[in-house]
Amino acid sequence: MGLEEYKGVFIFAQQVDNEVSSIALELLGKARDLAENLDDKTVTAVLIGSEVGGLVDELAEYGADRVIVIDDPELKEYRTEPYAHALASAINEYKPEIMLVGATAIGRDLGPRVSARVHTGLTADCTVLEIGDFPLVAVPGKEDEQKHKQLLMTRPAFGGNTIATIACPDYRPQMATVRPGVMQKIEPKKGAKAEVVNYNPGFTPNDKYVTIEKVVKEVSNVANIMDAKVLVSGGRGVGSPENFDMLKDLAALFKGGMVSCSRAVVDSGWMPKDMQVGQTGKTVRPHVYFAIGISGAIQHVAGMEESDIIIAINKDENAPIFEVADYGIVGDLNKIVPELTKKIKAEQEAKANA
């Protein structure tokens, strides 16, 4: 493998229903940042889908210098095999130094398959990406063996209890899936244009192509909790699905406020799976996260601990949620939450009238 043949930072520009996913723009932001520290500063987006040419300009505005468009009717709805074929072929053809994929459901399905196909390492669910040396500190006497300008990929494991930094020094591309909501998009540059490369490796259905019987969009998914600025999140302690109305009232007071929940609530059938925060749900990073009647199992905490401000209300003073909360209140949520809603409303009205 001629490592030096591999150049530039590539991102997988995930689109769903011909709309660019937020993660693609986040990846572009990070790719720009990484490219600044590399010799080849080109950022390339690999756009895979059917009739997706119209999305090129948006990718350009968010930082893509070049967009490789792989457009084919077989690529209309995401399926592992044609997408893996598309991305793996693009990698083999264009030889990126770094390949970033979102750690979304699609990306976490696609990434491993592609990494196995192109024979390179893949680091899952990264939260920090940097360019640096590997080993981090040169082994004395072997200074010349230290590699520079390597992608250092940091990821949590054990439900967020440990972190590790991973490198991929001898294989290319250096590949990572990146946790959504962690990287920052750049301020879009209106009117920016990217070089467009149309590429089609050919798609011949084989046994690895699965048949799509049905795609059902969930109606409940009106907005995404990952986009919320304020989350009022309830756990089993809320007591009943009806009591979630209380949380909805509170959330409604904030711009970008939404209700979310813990896994226990989804398991009880009180809220749809879309609203679940945590390891098996979504990772959220709102400005304010209210944890109401949530005990704070590590699987839950893993999905919300990056929130700017965490406020926990729980009647159990020993609830682990208090370990991560910035402000913890031991008390009865049924009494506190309605009062809180009333008070904030009054404060907001007072300010509006002032």
Partner 1 sequence: MKIVVCVKQVPDTKGGVKFKPDGTLDRAAMLAIMNPDDKAGLEAALRIKDEDPENTTVTVVTMGLPKADEVLREALAMGADEGLLITDRVLGGADTWATSSTIAGALKNMEYDLIITGRQAIDGDTAQVGPQISEHLDIPVISYAEELKVDRAAKTVTVKRQFDDRYHILTAKMPCLVTALSELNEPRYMTPGGIFDAFKKEVTVWGRDKLDVADENIGKAGSPTVIAKASDKVAKGKGEVVTPDSPAEAVNYIVGKLTEKHVI
User: Of the candidates 90, 28, 92, which has an alpha carbon nearest to the alpha carbon of residue 55?
Assistant: 28
Tell me the C-alpha distance between 13 and 49, whole Å. Answer: 10
Q: Indicate whether 329 belongs to the interface with partner 1 (CB under 8 A).
A: yes
Residue whose pair of structure tokens reads 């209309």 in the numeric block: 76
Residue 246 Cβ vs partner 1, minimum distance, rounded to whole Å: 13
Q: Indicate whether 252 belongs to the interface with partner 1 (CB under 8 A).
A: no
User: Of the candidates 166, 23, 165, which has an alpha carbon nearest to the alpha carbon of residue 108?
Assistant: 23
Q: Which of residues 135-174 bind partner 1 (CB under 8 A)?
A: 135-136, 152, 156-171
Looking at beta carbons only, is 119 or 148 nearer to partner 1?
Answer: 119
Q: Indicate whether 214 belongs to the interface with partner 1 (CB under 8 A).
A: yes
Q: Indicate whether 227 belongs to the interface with partner 1 (CB under 8 A).
A: no
Residue 72 Cβ vs partner 1, minimum distance, rounded to whole Å: 19
305-313 contacts at long range (C-beta below 8 A, 24 or more positions apart): 305/160, 306/182, 307/231, 313/337
Residue 351 Cβ vs partner 1, minimum distance, rounded to whole Å: 8
Tell me the C-alpha distance between 272 and 265, whole Å. Answer: 9
Q: Which of residues 2-61 bind partner 1 (CB under 8 A)?
A: 16
| Residue spans of alpha helices (H) in 69-144 | 80-94, 105-118
Beta partners for residue 10, in sequence order: 44, 99
Q: Indicate whether 332 belongs to the interface with partner 1 (CB under 8 A).
A: yes
Q: Which of residues 84-113 bind partner 1 (CB under 8 A)?
A: 84, 104-106, 108-109, 111-113
Q: Indicate whether 125 belongs to the interface with partner 1 (CB under 8 A).
A: yes
Q: Indicate whether 134 belongs to the interface with partner 1 (CB under 8 A).
A: yes
Please return the burial class of 143, using the count of CB atoms within 10 Å of its CB with bins 0-12, 13-18 and 19+. Answer: exposed
Tell me the C-alpha distance between 261 and 275, whole Å. Answer: 6
Question: Quick check: helix, strand or coil at residue 159?
Answer: helix
Looking at beta carbons only, is 53 or 272 nearer to partner 1?
Answer: 272
Residue 85 Cβ vs partner 1, minimum distance, rounded to whole Å: 11
Exactly one of 5, 143, 207, 242 binds partner 1 (CB under 8 A); that residue is: 207
Looking at beta carbons only, is 238 or 340 nearer to partner 1?
Answer: 340
Exactly one of 53, 121, 188, 256 binds partner 1 (CB under 8 A); that residue is: 121
Exactly one of 75, 230, 259, 265 binds partner 1 (CB under 8 A); that residue is: 230
